[in-house]
Amino acid sequence: MYLPSHFEVNDPKALEDLISKHPLGVLITQGQQGLSANHLPFELDSKQGVNTLRAHVARNNPLWQEIADADDVLIVFRADDAYISPNWYPSKHETHQLVPTWNYRVVHVHGRIFVRDDEKYVRGVVARLTRKHESTENKPWRMTDSAPDYIDSMLESIVGIEIEVTRMVGKFKLSQNRKADDRISAANTLIQKGEVTLGQAMLDTSDA
């Protein structure tokens, strides 16, 4: 990933926070059939300073059979993104030398993948993901809401994967290369257009 220093984010907490809030990652692997990309919701475990990502795939998905344990993989997590018009920059109307761009926040996770074809492991991953993402519901769905034999059959149809994280790279492109008044103006325009989270992130960068 092209990473100018002014867009680079090294704070582990900021990177982990983005993954937690945007857990649908793109898992990129190199298998027998070449490059493959799978979109999966991940659980991030950061206990004791060691980062681990866990997820599951359908048993019919060839991913888990085409990889070998400890293969290198890349997972891409993306937060908010939006088009930035040069018209939103006050300096554009002075110099007329600015062009459009696109702002975004991403985290690239490098690691080693391991297949976990184990019912207990898979059950734990599903239970934790369910608890997290059902937590905002008025009446959260639980695995016990379904008959045990149905849940057992569903668990038999998926395979767990675990990724030992070796490196995380963050790129938060928030107009840090622009003057403060340009960045603030563009951020406020985004907020007015409904892109509140990304606009606020740009304002927070201006305050840093």
Tell me if 88 sits within 8 A of 101, measured CB to CB.
no
Q: What are the structural domains of the chain?
A: 5-82+102-177 (2.30.110.10)
Over range 55-71, report the average pLDDT.
96
- In three-state secondary structure terms, 9 is strand
- Per-residue pLDDT band for 174 (boundaries 50, 70, 90) equals very high
CB 206 within 8 A of CB 183: yes
The residues facing 107 across adjacent strands are 77, 170
**Does this model's pTM top 0.85?**
yes
Place of tokens 């297949």: 115
- What pLDDT does 98 receive? 82
What does the alpha-carbon distance between residue 137 and residue 130 come to, in Å, rounded to a whole number?
Answer: 11
